[in-house]
């Protein structure tokens, strides 16, 4: 299980992130405070997008890791 903190500043960024998560064969969760949503859900992630999002991936995928790096908060 890997946790990464990201920021999604536009609906296009949310769509790109959700598309990448949707291609993963494992579960990916997006969390803000106590709210946890499925990262493969556009509406769920869009509702969290105004805040830094903690992403918990329950597996490994190279393409998804690159997407996480793109949106990671340094």
Query: Contact at 8 Å (CB) between 35 and 28?
Result: no
- In sign, the C-alpha dihedral spanning 41, 45, 4, 21 is positive
- What does the block give as tokens for 45? 């992630």
Query: Contact at 8 Å (CB) between 18 and 64?
Result: no
- pLDDT tens, residue by residue, 10-53: 999 999 999 999 999 999 999 999 999 999 999 999 999 989 99
Query: Contact at 8 Å (CB) between 10 and 54?
Result: no
Task: Determine the pLDDT at residue 1.
Answer: 87
φ, ψ for residue 38, nearest 5 deg: -70, 125
74 pLDDT above the threshold of 80: no
Domain 2-71 CATH superfamily: HPr-like (3.30.1340.10)
pTM score = 0.94
Rounded Cα–Cα distance for residues 37 and 55 (Å): 10
């Amino acid at each position: 299980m890997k946790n990464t903190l990201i920021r999604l500043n536009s609906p296009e960024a949310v769509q790109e992130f959700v598309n990448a998560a949707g291609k993963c064969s494992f579960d990916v969760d997006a969390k803000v405070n106590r709210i946890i949503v499925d990262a493969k859900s556009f509406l769920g992630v869009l509702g969290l997008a105004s805040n830094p999002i903690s992403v918990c991936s329950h597996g490994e995928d190279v393409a998804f890791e690159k997407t996480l790096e793109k949106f990671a908060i340094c």
